[in-house]
Amino acid sequence: METIKITLKISFSTQKGGVGKSTITTLLASIIHYRLGFNVLVMDCDFPQHSVSNMRERDKKTIMENDYHKKAAMKQFQSIKKKAYAIIKCKAENALEQAQQYIQQSKVIPEVVFFDLPGTANTKGVLTTLKAMDFIFSPITADRLVVESTLGFTKAFLGLPQNGGNSHPQALWLFWNQVDGREKTGLYNDYENVMDKLQIPIMKTRIMDSKRFRKESDDSGNYIFRSSLLPAEPHLMKATRMDKFVEEFLSIVHL
């Protein structure tokens, strides 16, 4: 039981589909594990899609078939001298138990376990698993239905009893994703004023929308952005403000 306490449990979770939770999970896991030196485990609980696990299989194939990605992978793994982070398929109801089993059997204890959960709260095990997280980050877009749905669920979720197994109070943060640079900032400020009144924290960094978020390594040519085996390239991180997002994320979770 001691090992699970020194490992942060984090989920990018939302009740609305299509706002990027699995993509952000993969981007953060790859940056933290491959570039920043932390050890990561990803629990792919999004049954039955298992999108993160399926991405890993596609990434393996891409590296074998694309010279650019093959050279990048060889250079990376020779440099960092550690394996790719594990991705474990599971259901939400078994995710905590399977993560603990992996950690207890692993020679290298991960600093972070990311849980990619289904987007429906009434799926068996989702609420229980969410309440066991140390940190929850919920992506939102500047869409009234998305914001209202997220705020409603967040207030209800925060009102649930605290899980006694957490070593410290649970923290939940919202963040803007898929931000269109042409949108008026006043719209975001108005929404943030509502969140402030509801005492729901929101991250300062807004992730810019980009076609790169919808492109995997197998169709991205000679650059790397969304991959489970390689971290996004720095200049692409900067263009989408993912670099600033990672900095703020690390300061929140104290890594």
Tell me the C-alpha distance between 136 and 14, whole Å.
9
Mean per-residue pLDDT, 42-63:
92
Name the residue with higher pLDDT: 123 or 10.
10
CA of 100: how far to CAs of 7, 110, 113, 219, in Å?
A: 10, 11, 10, 35
**What pLDDT score does 117 carry?**
93
**Alpha-carbon torsion angle 201, 214, 149, 92, nearest 10:** -90
The residues that bridge with 77 in the sheet, in sequence order, are none
Question: Exposed e or buried b for every residue in 54-63, given b needs 16+ CB within 10 A?
Answer: ebbebbeebb
Given a cut of 60, whether residue 166 has pLDDT beyond it is no
Count CB atoms within 10 A of the CB of residue 200.
Answer: 18
* Among the ranges given (54-58, 105-109, 221-225), the one the predictor scored with the smallest mean pLDDT: 221-225
Given a cut of 60, whether residue 21 has pLDDT beyond it is yes
Tell me the C-alpha distance between 208 and 130, whole Å.
27
Given a cut of 70, whether residue 212 has pLDDT beyond it is no
Given a cut of 50, whether residue 4 has pLDDT beyond it is no
Domains, the chain, in order of start with CATH, read 2-253 (3.40.50.300)
Q: Which tokens go with 121? A: 């709260």
Given a cut of 90, whether residue 27 has pLDDT beyond it is yes
Over residues 55-93, the pLDDT tens digits come to: 999 999 989 988 988 999 999 999 999 999 999 999 999
Q: Which tokens go with 48? A: 């039955």
The residues that bridge with 12 in the sheet, in sequence order, are 137
The residues that bridge with 10 in the sheet, in sequence order, are 114, 135
pLDDT band at 15 (very low <50, low <70, confident <90, very high): confident
What's the Rg (C-alpha) of the chain?
18
Mean per-residue pLDDT, 239-249:
96
Tell me the C-alpha distance between 33 and 25, whole Å.
12
The identity of residue 207, as a single letter, is: I
